Amino acid sequence: MMTSKGSNKSIASVVTGGAGFLGSHLCDRLLAEGQYVICIDNLITGETSNIAHLLGHEHFRFINHDITNYIFIDETVNNVLHFASPASPIDYLKLPIQTLKVGSLGTHKALGLAKAKGARFLLASTSEVYGDPQVHPQPESYWGNVNPIGYRGVYDEAKRFSEAMTMAYHRYHGVDTRIARIFNTYGPRMRINDGRAIPAFMSQALRGEDVTVFGDGSQTRSVCYVDDMIEGIYRLLMSDVVEPINIGNPDEIPIVQLAKEIIELTGSNSKIVFKELPEDDPKVRQPDISKARKLLMWAPKINRKEGLKRTLEYFRQKLLVPESVK
Structural domains of the chain in order of their starting residue, each with its CATH number: 12-318 (3.40.50.720)
User: For residues 203 and 192, is the Cβ–Cβ distance under 8 A?
Assistant: yes
**274: number of Cβ within 10 Å:** 13
What is the per-residue pLDDT across 76-122, written as a single tens digit (0 to 9) for each? 999 999 999 999 988 988 999 999 999 999 999 999 999 999 999 99
What is the per-residue pLDDT across 152-172, written as a single tens digit (0 to 9) for each? 999 999 999 999 999 999 999
- Separation CA 36–CA 31 (nearest Å): 6
The alpha carbon of residue 179 and the mean position of all alpha carbons in its chain are separated, in whole angstroms, by 12
- Separation CA 169–CA 324 (nearest Å): 38
- Separation CA 191–CA 209 (nearest Å): 18
What is the per-residue pLDDT across 230-253, written as a single tens digit (0 to 9) for each? 999 999 999 999 999 999 999 999
What is the per-residue pLDDT across 257-305, written as a single tens digit (0 to 9) for each? 999 999 999 999 999 999 988 887 888 999 999 999 999 999 999 999 9
What region does 279 belong to: left with phi over 0, alpha with psi -120 to 50, or beta? Answer: beta
The mean pLDDT value of the chain amounts to: 93
- Separation CA 77–CA 121 (nearest Å): 10
Query: Is residue 7 over pLDDT 70?
Result: no
What is the per-residue pLDDT across 169-203, written as a single tens digit (0 to 9) for each? 999 999 999 999 999 999 999 998 888 999 999 99
**214: number of Cβ within 10 Å:** 15
Least confident of 7-16, 210-219, 258-267: 7-16
| Half-sphere exposure in the Cβ direction for 138 (13 Å, CA) | 33
3-state SS string for the chain: CCCCCCCCCCCEEEEECCCCHHHHHHHHHHHHCCCEEEEEECCCCCCHHHCHHHCCCCCEEEEECCCCCCCCCCCCCCEEEECCCCCCHHHHHHCHHHHHHHHHHHHHHHHHHHHHHCCEEEEEEEHHHHECCCCCCECCCCCCECCCCCCCHHHHHHHHHHHHHHHHHHHHHCCCEEEEEECCEECCCCCCCCCCHHHHHHHHHHCCCCEEEECCCCCEEECEEHHHHHHHHHHHHHCCCCCCEEECCCCEEEHHHHHHHHHHHHCCCCCEEEECCCCCCCCCCCECCHHHHHHHCCCCCCCHHHHHHHHHHHHHHHCCCCCCCC
Is residue 69 classed exposed, middle or buried when 0-12, 13-18 and 19+ CB atoms within 10 A define those classes? exposed
Looking at the DSSP bridge assignments, the partners of residue 60 are 37
- Separation CA 225–CA 300 (nearest Å): 8
pLDDT at 19: 98
User: For residues 181 and 246, is the Cβ–Cβ distance under 8 A?
Assistant: yes
pLDDT at 326: 35
- Separation CA 134–CA 101 (nearest Å): 28
> pLDDT band for position 9 (50/70/90)?
low
> pLDDT band for position 52 (50/70/90)?
very high
- Separation CA 274–CA 217 (nearest Å): 8
User: For residues 186 and 223, is the Cβ–Cβ distance under 8 A?
Assistant: yes
User: For residues 46 and 39, is the Cβ–Cβ distance under 8 A?
Assistant: no
User: So which residues are the catalytic ones?
Assistant: 155
